[in-house]
Amino acid sequence: MYAIIESGGKQYKAEQGRWLDLELLYAEEGSTVQFPVLMVVDGDKTTTGQPRLESAAVTGKVLREEVKGKKLISFKFRAKKGYQRKVGHRQKYTRVMIEEISLG
């Protein structure tokens, strides 16, 4: 059984007992968070919302408040002009353990 949830304007596949790195949530470590559910798949049975399933709930526990992603480099260059700009960026994430998926 898995669910498609929405967090930070993105969609994620959530399975019970697995962790996800989501866009930074302002929640303390050890706290419980709930997510809007878009779709639930249980074997051959698929339930979708329009756009969300109000009866379904996905609950997760915050494992780490802040995790940094890999470094991305943005480099701008103009030939023969002596123009170069190099900027690095590391996105911040929150690591969440999915505890329960319920259809309600």
CA distance 6 to 3: 10
CA–CA dist 58, 7 (Å, integer): 12
Q: Smallest Cα–Cα separation from 21: which of 93, 100, 77, 89?
A: 93
pLDDT in tens, the chain (104 residues): 999 999 999 999 999 999 999 999 989 999 999 999 999 999 999 999 999 999 999 999 999 999 999 999 999 999 999 999 999 999 999 999 999 999 87
